[in-house]
Amino acid sequence: MYRKLTLIVAAAGAVAASVPALAQGQRDPTQMLERADLNGDGQITRAEHTEMRARMFDKMDRNQDGVIDKEDAPKRRMMRRGGDKFKQLAEHLDSNGDGRVTRDEVVNGPNILFDYGDTDRNGVIDQDEMAALREAAAARQAAR
């Protein structure tokens, strides 16, 4: 019984990990970073992080015109929660606040999370740095 439950929990975790951060509305930034480890070597390079942001942009830019704006938002009556999350993320990404998020803004914009995590500034977030980030995120959650 217990064993079975553990299996189900593990399976649910695997599914959650494959769902894009946007759909999940993930609040823990380290999970977003972990997903950026595209070659699965446990380290996130700046290139991998940039690639992840490009993929995220392409997912959000539904009509593929190179700009995320309200036309790309999910239809409200279809997925209300998804729409709100889309708005939040779009606002967060819109660095100059003009209501439009260009691909350039997302892919080449300031990399605050990466810079914050890469404490020794070598262009790679290694497992130690990731662990430190995770601890910081957990501490923030606990303080809430």
Binding residues for Ca ion, rule: CB under 5 A, are 37, 39, 41, 43, 61, 63, 65, 67, 72, 118, 120, 122, 124
Q: Which is nearer to Ca ion, 9 or 47 (CB)?
A: 47
Instruction: Supply the minimum distance, in Å, between the C-beta of residue 69 and Ca ion.
Output: 6
| Angle at 46 (CA atoms; ends 106, 93), nearest 5 degrees | 20
**Cβ pair 16, 24 in contact under 8 A:** yes
Instruction: Supply the minimum distance, in Å, between the C-beta of residue 63 and Ca ion.
Output: 5
Question: What token pair was written down for 140?
Answer: 């923030």
Instruction: Supply the minimum distance, in Å, between the C-beta of residue 4 and Ca ion.
Output: 34
| Angle at 85 (CA atoms; ends 84, 88), nearest 5 degrees | 90
Instruction: Supply the minimum distance, in Å, between the C-beta of residue 118 and Ca ion.
Output: 4
HEC string of 54-79?
A: HHHHHHHCCCCCCEECHHHCCCCCCC
Rg of the chain taking only CA atoms, in angstroms: 17
Q: Which is nearer to Ca ion, 105 or 118 (CB)?
A: 118
Q: Which is nearer to Ca ion, 18 or 39 (CB)?
A: 39
Q: Which is nearer to Ca ion, 6 or 108 (CB)?
A: 108
